[in-house]
C-alpha cells in the first residue's frame, strides 16, 4: 500500500512506531502530487524542498513518536490562511506576490501538533464562489470527473484530500465553502461552531460568518484535526473560551436513542433525484442503527440565500477595503492617490469580487441601509431562532449538503443566481452560527459522482455531530471509495 492513500490515524500509527518517517510520508505525497496534480490543479504553490526540510526537522526531533497529534503529518492549506514565509494570494491578482509575515492561529496549532505545512490550495477569489472557477490562477478539476468543478470555494483543498494528494487540508466556510466541496469531491468537511476556532490569520471575507475547518478522508481524522484547531485565542475576540473536548475519544458511542431532525424545507422540488434517494437511504440507515427520526421545520429557510447575500457582501465590502495598493499586494500607479486606488482595485479584483463589493456597498449605503442590511439582520435572527426551536426537538439535523452533484465546468458561470443557489442547504448554518459536517453517502449512477450527507449540531455540539457522522460512516463503505486518476 502506498503511504499517500492512508488516513491520518493509519499514518500516525506507522509514524509512532517508527515504521515510517515524516520524510517518507511527505515524499509519498510529493510523488502523488507530481503524478496527478497536472490534471487536477488543486495546488497553487508547493515548495518540495521546504516541505522535506520541515519533515527532516520533525524526524530529528522525534516528535512523531512521542504522541503529538499530527507529528509528521503533512497538511495542505487553503490560500486564504497565512503561513509565515509562504505566499498568500486568496487566489486574487491583487495579492500576487504577497508573502505572509505571520502564522494564523490554526497554523500555529498545526505546527505545535507536529504537522508539516505542505502547500497552498486553490480557491475562489477571496472565497467567493461555489466552484473554484473564480480563482485568478485557473480552474481546479473534480477528481471524479475532470470536466467538472470540485465545488467551492475551498475546491483545491477538497480535491487534494479526495485525490490522496494530502492527508488533510484546511478550508474556510462562510456559507458552505468547506461542506459543499467536500460533498462534491467525496471527502469529509467540517464547519465548526462560530467561535470554536480562531480566525486570526484567516483573510476575512464576512467576519460574522467565517470559520476555519478541516477536510479529511474520514470522520475520525476530522475529529483529530478539530482537536488540534479548536480553542480560545485572545487574538480573535469572537473565539470562545470554552474547553475543547477530546473529540476523538468521544467517537464510537453510536446513535441509539438520539433524535435526528429532518427539516421538511430541505427536501425540495428541483433537487437531484439521486441525491434525494441517497440521503433518504442514509436516514434509513441511521434509523436502523437506533436513531429516532423526527420531522422538524425551519420555516425561514426560503429567505436564507437573500439574507446571506446581503450580509456577506456588506461585510465583504468593508473587509476588502484594505486592498488598496498601499500596504501590500499589487499596485497600479495613478495620477493621485484616489486614481491609484481605483486603478489598483479595478485591475486587481475579478468580476465576482467586484460584484460583491458593489452589492455590499449598496446594501450599506445611506437610504438603503435600513431597507436591506438591517432587514437582513432581523431575518437572520429568525433563521437562528428556527434552529433553536428545532433543536428543542432533536439532537442533530440531517440534510443533503448540496441539492446536486458536481456540475460541468462553465455550466453556471454566466448566471450568478444559479451559482448562489448551490448554497441553499449550507448557508443557514453560518447565519445561525451552528456547526456541521458533510460526509460521503453515495454516488450517482452515470456519471459516478459523490453525494454528501450534512449533519448539523447545536452550538458547540461538535461531539454529537461527529458521533452521528462516525456511526453512519462506520456502517457504510462510501468513504473508502477513491477516484480513478
Chain residues binding ligand GLN by CB under 6 A are 127-130, 153, 172-177, 205, 312, 423
Q: What does the block give as the cell for 325?
A: 495598493
Our answer to whether residue 21 is catalytic in this structure is no
**123 versus 275: smaller Cβ distance to ligand GLN:** 123
Q: How far is the CB of 223 from ligand GLN (least distance, A)?
A: 22
- Kindly tell me which of 218 and 423 has the beta carbon lying closer to ligand GLN: 423
User: Taking Cα atoms as reference points, which of 305, 323, 378, 402 lies closest to residue 126?
Assistant: 323
Q: Taking Cα atoms as reference points, which of 317, 303, 416 lies closest to residue 360?
A: 317
Compute the least distance from the CB of residue 249 to ligand GLN, in Å.
30
Judged by CB, which is closer to ligand GLN: 205, or 425?
A: 205
Q: How far is the CB of 5 from ligand GLN (least distance, A)?
A: 29
User: Which entry of 100, 172, 177, 438 is annotated as an active-site residue?
Assistant: 177
Contact by Cβ (8 Å): 254, 387 = no
Residue with the shortest CB distance to ligand GLN: 177
Q: Which is nearer to ligand GLN, 110 or 128 (CB)?
A: 128
Residue 68 bears catalytic tag? no
**In terms of CB distance, is 210 or 395 closer to ligand GLN?**
210
Whether 177 sits among the annotated catalytic residues: the reply is yes
Catalytic residue among 153, 172, 183, 317: 153
For residues 170 and 83, what is the distance between their CA atoms, to the nearest angstrom? 12
Q: Which residues pair with 113 in a beta bridge?
A: none
C-beta closer to ligand GLN: residue 154 or 444: 154
Cβ atoms within 10 A of the Cβ of 42, count?
31
Shortest separation between residue 384's beta carbon and ligand GLN, angstroms:
18
Which one, 390 or 429, has the nearer CB to ligand GLN? Answer: 429
In the bound complex, what is the minimum distance in angstroms from residue 422's beta carbon to ligand GLN? Answer: 6
CB of residue 236 vs ligand GLN: minimum separation in angstroms?
17
Q: Between residues 127 and 282, which has the closer beta carbon with respect to ligand GLN?
A: 127
Min dist CB 4 to ligand GLN, Å, is 28
Selection from 459, 425, 71, 29 nearest residue 217 by Cα: 29
Q: Which residue among 68, 78, 217, 412 is the active-site one?
A: 78
Answer whether 140's CB lies under 8 Å from 122's CB: yes
Q: Please, what is the minimum distance in Å from the beta carbon of residue 131 to ligand GLN?
A: 8
Catalytic positions are: 78, 153, 177
Amino acid at each position: 500500500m502506498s503511504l499517500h492513500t492512508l488516513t491520518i490515524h493509519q499514518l500516525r500509527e506507522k509514524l509512532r512506531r517508527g515504521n515510517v518517517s515524516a520524510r517518507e510520508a511527505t515524499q509519498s505525497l510529493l510523488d502523488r502530487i507530481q503524478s496527478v496534480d497536472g490534471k487536477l490543479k488543486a495546488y497553487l504553490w508547493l515548495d518540495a524542498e521546504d516541505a522535506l526540510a520541515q519533515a527532516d526537522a520533525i524526524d530529528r526531533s522525534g516528535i512523531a513518536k512521542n504522541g503529538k497529534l499530527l507529528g509528521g503529518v503533512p497538511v495542505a492549506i487553503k490560500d486564504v490562511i497565512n503561513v509565515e514565509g509562504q505566499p498568500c494570494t486568496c487566489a486574487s491578482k491583487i495579492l500576487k506576490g504577497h508573502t505572509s509575515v505571520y502564522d494564523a492561529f490554526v497554523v500555529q496549532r498545526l505546527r505545535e501538533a507536529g504537522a508539516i505545512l505542505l502547500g497552498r490550495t486553490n480557491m475562489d477569489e477571496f472565497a467567493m464562489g461555489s466552484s473554484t472557477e473564480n480563482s485568478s490562477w485557473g480552474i481546479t478539476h473534480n477528481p471524479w470527473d475532470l470536466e467538472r468543478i470540485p465545488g467551492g470555494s475551498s475546491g483545491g483543498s477538497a480535491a487534494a484530500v479526495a485525490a490522496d494528494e494530502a492527508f488533510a487540508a484546511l478550508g474556510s466556510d462562510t456559507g458552505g465553502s468547506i461542506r459543499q466541496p467536500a460533498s462534491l469531491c467525496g471527502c469529509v468537511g467540517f464547519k465548526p461552531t462560530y467561535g470554536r476556532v480562531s480566525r486570526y490569520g484567516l483573510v476575512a471575507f464576512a467576519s460574522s460568518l467565517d470559520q476555519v475547518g478541516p477536510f479529511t478522508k474520514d470522520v475520525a481524522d476530522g475529529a483529530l484535526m478539530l482537536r488540534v484547531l479548536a480553542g480560545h485565542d485572545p487574538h480573535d475576540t469572537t473565539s470562545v473560551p470554552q474547553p475543547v473536548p477530546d473529540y476523538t475519544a468521544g467517537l464510537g458511542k453510536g446513535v441509539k436513542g438520539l433524535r435526528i431532525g429532518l427539516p421538511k424545507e430541505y427536501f425540495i422540488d428541483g433537487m437531484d433525484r439521486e441525491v434525494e434517494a441517497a440521503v433518504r437511504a442514509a436516514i434509513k440507515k441511521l434509523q436502523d442503527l437506533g436513531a429516532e427520526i423526527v420531522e422538524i421545520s425551519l420555516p425561514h429557510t426560503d429567505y436564507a440565500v437573500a439574507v446571506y447575500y446581503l450580509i456577506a457582501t456588506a461585510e465583504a465590502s468593508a473587509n476588502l477595503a484594505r486592498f488598496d495598493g498601499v500596504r501590500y499586494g499589487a499596485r497600479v500607479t495613478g495620477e493621485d492617490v484616489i486614481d491609484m486606488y481605483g486603478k489598483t482595485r479595478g485591475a486587481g479584483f475579478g468580476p465576482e469580487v467586484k460584484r460583491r463589493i458593489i452589492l455590499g456597498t449598496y446594501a450599506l449605503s445611506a437610504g438603503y441601509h435600513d431597507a436591506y442590511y438591517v432587514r437582513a439582520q432581523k431575518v437572520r435572527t429568525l433563521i437562528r431562532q428556527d434552529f433553536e426551536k428545532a433543536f428543542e426537538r432533536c439532537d442533530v439535523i440531517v440534510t443533503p449538503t448540496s441539492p446536486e452533484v458536481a456540475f460541468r465546468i462553465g455550466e453556471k458561470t454566466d448566471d450568478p443566481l444559479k451559482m448562489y443557489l448551490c448554497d441553499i442547504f449550507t448557508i443557514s448554518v453560518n447565519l445561525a452560527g451552528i456547526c456541521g459536517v458533510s460526509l460521503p453517502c453515495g454516488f450517482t449512477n452515470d456519471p459516478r459522482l459523490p453525494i454528501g450527507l450534512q449533519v448539523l449540531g447545536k452550538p458547540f455540539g461538535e461531539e454529537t455531530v461527529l458521533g452521528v457522522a462516525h456511526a453512519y460512516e462506520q456502517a457504510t463503505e462510501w468513504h473508502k471509495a477513491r477516484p480513478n486518476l
